[in-house]
């Protein structure tokens, strides 16, 4: 039998608009007595997303709102939300998701089985805007994977095995994986605290992958459940800021490399990122005739060049 009120849900919001109220409504509809609290951590939104949530009435769980005075990043916001959680499990949920009837009871029942005590993280099948199963799992990256991504080799059919994202698997069966996407990231609260939560050096991107890797190194599995579903639009509010999205993804990749790769590989990754990748990205965007994307690429690399001293400083910690 499922333990009641076993779950706290953390949602990080940044100008999510109506999506935020929609996901909270879906939690209210399908909570099934399992949700103790929902914590919304707002990263200085300027839209009315919080106001729409505050209009919701008779919610069957405790709703807490943390208002950050500036956008402190995804990892920092998640950690602040998790610090308020008192339940056995924490679920980090994107505002562009929506729960279904089996989104909570199936993964919680799986986690609570004694045989699964070595499972630290669970993700479920995510359905996209085209009603297709999203390829939401990933492999732990190697230098070869990051280099193939930087140069564009992973786009070639014979080299798709170098893709970090598991696009070569249909995501139609339950299995242990390296990493499940942070859009729906269910974790034992005790393990989250033991590992120190998300590494706050990542502003956004790869902080969830970093946590999955640390959980793996501590002896815990990540499992993808194909018999539970939730909706995920994908892209979230980062769709609004293409330049910043590319900049932060490249920055996070460098931080990940310096943290987890041997030093010589991390430095090689840095050289590939700064010297080779800008040209490969520009070549692909111009080949598609997308001048706007080319401008976004150049702007992102200007930001990345300016951030190099900060990246190197953070990498020493």
| Mean of pLDDT values over 243-255 | 96
The model's pLDDT over 102-125, given as tens digits with 9 standing for 90+, comes to 999 999 999 999 999 999 999 999
* 62 and 210 fall within a common domain: yes
Predicted local confidence at residue 1, as pLDDT: 64
Residues 20, 71, single domain; the answer is: yes
Decide if 129 is inside a domain.
Answer: yes
User: Which candidate, 106, 52, 96, places its Cα nearest to that of 223?
Assistant: 106
In 86-121, which positions are buried (b, 16+ CB within 10 angstroms) versus exposed (e)? ebbbbbbbbbbbbbbebbbbbbbbbbeeeeeeebbb
Q: What total number of domains does the chain contain? A: 2
* Whole-number pLDDT of residue 157: 72
Q: Are residues 225 and 245 in the same domain?
A: no
Return the pLDDT at 56.
95
Q: What is the pLDDT of residue 3?
A: 77
How do residues 275-311 score in pLDDT, each as one tens digit?
999 999 999 898 888 899 999 999 999 999 999 999 9
Stated pTM of the model: 0.95
Per-residue confidence (pLDDT) for residue 240, from 0 to 100: 53
Beta strands in the chain (DSSP E): 7-13, 35-43, 62-68, 89-93, 97-99, 119-127, 137-138, 175-177, 179-180, 184-188, 221-232
Cα first-last separation, the chain:
44
Q: What percent of the chain has pLDDT over 70?
A: 98
| Whether the predicted pLDDT of 37 surpasses 90 | yes
In a domain, 159, yes or no: no
Output the average pLDDT for the chain: 94
Q: How confident is the model at residue 235 (pLDDT cuts 50, 70, 90)?
A: low
Domain boundary among 189, 209, 233: 233
Q: What's residue 250's pLDDT?
A: 97
- Is residue 199 included in any domain, yes or no? yes
Q: Is the pLDDT of residue 238 over 60?
A: no
- What's the rounded Cα separation, in Å, for the pair 137 and 167? 8
Domain boundary, last residue among 206, 233, 260? 233
Residue 246 sits in the same domain as residue 118:
no
């Amino acid at each position: 039998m499922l333990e009641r009120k076993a779950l706290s849900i953390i949602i990080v919001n940044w100008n999510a608009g109506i999506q935020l109220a929609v996901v909270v409504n879906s939690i209210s509809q399908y909570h099934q007595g399992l949700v103790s609290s929902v914590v919304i951590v707002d990263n200085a939104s300027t839209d009315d997303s919080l106001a729409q949530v505050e209009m919701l009435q008779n919610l069957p769980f405790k709703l807490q709102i943390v208002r950050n005075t500036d956008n402190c990043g995804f990892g920092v916001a998640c950690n602040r939300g998790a610090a308020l959680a008192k339940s056995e499990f924490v679920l980090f949920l994107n505002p562009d998701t929506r729960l279904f009837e089996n989104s909570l009871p199936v993964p919680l029942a799986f986690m609570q089985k004694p045989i699964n005590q070595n499972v630290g993280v669970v993700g479920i099948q995510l359905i996209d805007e085209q009603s297709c199963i999203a390829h939401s799992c990933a492999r732990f990256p190697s230098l070869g994977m990051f280099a193939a991504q930087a140069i564009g080799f992973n786009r070639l059919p014979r080299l798709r095995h170098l893709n970090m994202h598991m696009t070569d698997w249909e995501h139609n069966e339950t299995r242990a994986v390296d990493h499940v996407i942070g859009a729906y990231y269910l974790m034992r609260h005790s393990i989250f605290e033991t590992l120190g939560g998300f590494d706050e050096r990542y502003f956004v991107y790869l902080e969830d992958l970093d946590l999955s890797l640390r959980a793996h190194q501590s002896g815990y599995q990540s499992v993808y459940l194909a018999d539970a579903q939730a909706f995920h639009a994908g892209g979230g509010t980062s769709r609004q800021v293409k330049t910043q999205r590319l900049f932060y993804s490249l920055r996070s990749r460098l931080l990940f490399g310096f943290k987890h790769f041997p030093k010589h590989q991390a430095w090689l990754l840095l050289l590939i990122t700064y010297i080779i990748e800008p040209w490969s990205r520009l070549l692909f965007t111009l080949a598609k005739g997308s001048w706007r994307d080319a401008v976004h690429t150049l702007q992102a690399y200007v930001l990345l060049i300016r951030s190099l001293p900060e990246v190197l400083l953070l990498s020493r910690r």
